[in-house]
């Protein structure tokens, strides 16, 4: 039996990720094929009690959030590359707190970021990192929807449900 996992994810509008997706497609096509550029809101181990999480999501009254992004950073012994968030990211942390209300109080600290090269299926070199650093990334990205997604081990992530933020039509 194959293992499935779920997470809550913030997908930006495609127009906000053109450069990010171009980099992912060029330097980490395997990961790009599995999932679009995103910010993970809650990891699988945080949403095990999915019925409570869904109840929180259905009664959510949080606004659309914006996350500011800064430098690209290498991680995981330099194999991976991420676009790091800057600032306090208070709206992101407030959203996590609302989603995980009654489950994890306070939720563990999770800093938002967008993974450009995932260390599981890529390996960044100094030359590749220097190429990536030369790109101009969006400074701020808005997130209007929380997506509950699921992956069967090694396969593409699929969308199960979406939850709109704010007055997002």
Using one digit for the tens of pLDDT, what is the confidence trace for 99-109?
Answer: 999 997 788 88
> Does residue 160 lie within any of the structural domains?
no
By the 8 A CB rule, do 143 and 165 touch?
yes
Burial class, 14, CB count within 10 angstroms (exposed 0-12 / middle 13-18 / buried 19+) = exposed
Instruction: Check which CATH number belongs to the domain holding 132 and give it.
Output: 3.90.1140.10
Q: How many domains does the chain have?
A: 1
> Does residue 65 lie within any of the structural domains?
yes
40 beta partners: 9
Overall pTM surpassing 0.85 (yes/no): yes
Mean pLDDT value across residues 22-31: 96
> Does residue 166 lie within any of the structural domains?
no
> Does residue 95 lie within any of the structural domains?
yes
pLDDT in the model for residue 1: 61
> Does residue 67 lie within any of the structural domains?
yes
> Does residue 50 lie within any of the structural domains?
yes
Expressed in angstroms, the distance from the first to the final Cα of the chain is: 39
Q: Which of 6, 30, 47, 3 is nearest to 115 (CA)?
A: 30
Quickly state the pLDDT bin for 27 (edges 50, 70, 90): very high
Q: Which of 91, 94, 100 is nearest to 56 (CA)?
A: 100
Alpha helices for 59-125 (secondary structure H): 90-99
> Does residue 164 lie within any of the structural domains?
no
> Does residue 163 lie within any of the structural domains?
no
State the residue range of the domain holding 37.
Answer: 4-152
């Amino acid at each position: 039996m194959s293992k499935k996992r779920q997470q809550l994810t913030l997908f930006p509008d495609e127009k906000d990720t053109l450069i990010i997706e171009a980099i992912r497609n060029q330097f980490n096509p395997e990961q790009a094929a599995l999932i679009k550029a995103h910010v993970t809101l809650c990891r699988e181990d945080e949403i095990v009690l999915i019925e409570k999480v869904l109840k929180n999501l259905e009664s959510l009254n949080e606004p659309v959030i914006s996350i500011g992004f800064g430098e690209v950073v290498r991680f995981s012994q330099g194999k991976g590359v991420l676009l790091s968030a800057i600032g306090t990211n208070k709206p992101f942390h407030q959203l996590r707190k609302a989603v995980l209300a009654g489950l994890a109080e306070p939720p563990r600290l999770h800093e938002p970021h967008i993974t450009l090269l995932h260390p599981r299926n890529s390996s960044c070199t100094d030359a590749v990192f220097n190429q990536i650093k030369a790109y101009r990334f969006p400074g701020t990205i808005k997130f209007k929807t929380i997506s509950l997604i699921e992956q069967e081990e090694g396969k593409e992530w699929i969308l199960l449900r979406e939850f709109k933020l704010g007055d997002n039509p």
